[in-house]
Every structure is written in structure tokens, then in C-alpha cells.
């Protein structure tokens, strides 16, 4: 068990391009979360999955954002037509049954130029 | 609206002394509070937590105090060590919200030798 893995670690993209991030949770964790963190702020909740079902989406997740978790394993977060305001650290976390087991990945830092 | 607030962006403490990090919240329905520590280029790592039915939880050098009437919690680190230098986030969860966490803005702690 290597913890929560996120790929890529860094992504620089031009405004208007699409980007996709991947998260591999801890294998036995059935819940997977996506957060976004901007400079000087704490992580903000975006969405979460219980197995393959997406159970909640924040209003921060505009129509340009989509997340999937096929077969309840890894998850992808796609941003279409990126904007400069999308520049942030995107964090993935997974959890089994208790909050003690809430584990974050190292994040993907997105820079939109 | 910021439901969890950390009003001190930074704190500097001498090695060996006590570090006290503060967090205020507005929602009396929060049932669990957690502290996370974050180093640059890494995801947040769980430090210590407290249930809303308790007023104190201790784990080695780390103690969290909860004052429900004041809607305030604090993290005490004693003695502080240079390796404790990091950004500390306070987070809260609501029962039956699927484990979604609401974070404060963070406090950057610097422990000087």
C-alpha cells in the first residue's frame, strides 16, 4: 500500500486547453474525494464518490469540470476549456470507514497560462 | 461564508516552547474536528482529531482543546521542534455529510532553533 497517488504532480497548460488528472486511492478505501486549494486558503471540497457513485458535487464544480470513478477504483478529474482562475493545487483523498483514515495524495499543481 | 476560520496566517515560536494554534467555527452542528499538517509540495497529513462530545484529546506532544460554547478549538504543541514548521489546517465535518471536510485557511508555524 503506497498511499494515495496523484498524477501528474505538475501541469502547465494554455488557457482554453483541456486537462485531466488521475487519482489512485488506497485500495481498500471506498470513498474518494477531490479538493482544490489556492494560495493562502485551505482545501475546498469539490466532489466525492462512494465506490463508483458520485454522491455530491460542490457548486465550485462548474460545467467545465467532470469527475469519474469507473469501477470504484481510480478517479479522474477533467477540466475543459481551462481558465486562469483554475490554477490551483488539486488534491485527492480517500477514506475507509472513519475520518481517522482520511488520507490525502500529494496533489496536482495546475498552472494555466 | 467561511464556516471554519484560522485568523492567524503565521506564528513564530522558539524551539522548546509551546505553540498554540487557534481555530474558530460558526456551525454548531459540526460533530468532528481534525488538525492537518502540510509541508510544501505534499498533501495534508492527519495530525489529531477530537469529537464534539469531548473537550480535550492528547497524543504525545499534541493536544487539541475544544470549547463548544465559544465555538473555538486550539492545538497545543509542546515542546515545539524545528521539524514542526509547516502549515497547520483545522478542519470540521458534519454528521451524515459523507466525510466532506471544511477547512480553515491555515496557519504557517515556524519553529526557530
Which tens digits make up the pLDDT trace of A75-111? 999 999 999 999 999 999 999 877 666 899 999 999 9
Best A42, A88, A94 residue to mutate vs chain B (most B CBs within 10 Å): A42
User: What is the per-residue pLDDT for A1?
Assistant: 53
User: What is the per-residue pLDDT for A99?
Assistant: 66
**Residue (of B2, B96, B98, B90) closest to B50 by Cα position:** B90
Is residue B103 within 8 angstroms of chain A, CB to CB?
yes
Give, in degrees to the nearest 5, the angle at Cα B97 between B76 and A4: 70
| A1-10, A99-108, B75-84: which is most confident | B75-84
Count Cα atoms within 13 angstroms, Cβ side, for A49: 25
Q: Is B80 helix (H, G, I), strand (E, B) or coil?
A: coil
Whether A60 has a pLDDT exceeding 70, the answer reads yes
- For A104, nearest residue in chain B (alpha carbons): B43
Q: Which range is least confidently modeled, A1-5, A46-50, A69-73?
A: A1-5
Amino acid at each position: 500500500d503506497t498511499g494515495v497517488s496523484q498524477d501528474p504532480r505538475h501541469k502547465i497548460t494554455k488557457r482554453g486547453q483541456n486537462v485531466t488528472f488521475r487519482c489512485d486511492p488506497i485500495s481498500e478505501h471506498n470513498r474518494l474525494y477531490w479538493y482544490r486549494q489556492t494560495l493562502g486558503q485551505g482545501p475546498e471540497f469539490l466532489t466525492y464518490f462512494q465506490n463508483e457513485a458520485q454522491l455530491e458535487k460542490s457548486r465550485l464544480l462548474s460545467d467545465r469540470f467532470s469527475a469519474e470513478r469507473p469501477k470504484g477504483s481510480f478517479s479522474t478529474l477533467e477540466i475543459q476549456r481551462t481558465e486562469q482562475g483554475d490554477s490551483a493545487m488539486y488534491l485527492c483523498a480517500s477514506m475507509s470507514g472513519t475520518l481517522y483514515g482520511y488520507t490525502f495524495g500529494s496533489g496536482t499543481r495546475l498552472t494555466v497560462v | 461564508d467561511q464556516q471554519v476560520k484560522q485568523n492567524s496566517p503565521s506564528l513564530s515560536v522558539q524551539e522548546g516552547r509551546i505553540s498554540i494554534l487557534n481555530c474558530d467555527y460558526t456551525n454548531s452542528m459540526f460533530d468532528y474536528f481534525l488538525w492537518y499538517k502540510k509541508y510544501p509540495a505534499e498533501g495534508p497529513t492527519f495530525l489529531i482529531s477530537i469529537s464534539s462530545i469531548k473537550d480535550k484529546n492528547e497524543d504525545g506532544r499534541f493536544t487539541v482543546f475544544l470549547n463548544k460554547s465559544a465555538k473555538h478549538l486550539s492545538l497545543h504543541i509542546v515542546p515545539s521542534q524545528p521539524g514542526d514548521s509547516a502549515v497547520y489546517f483545522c478542519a470540521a465535518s458534519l454528521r451524515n455529510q459523507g466525510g466532506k471536510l471544511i477547512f480553515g485557511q491555515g496557519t504557517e508555524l515556524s519553529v526557530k532553533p
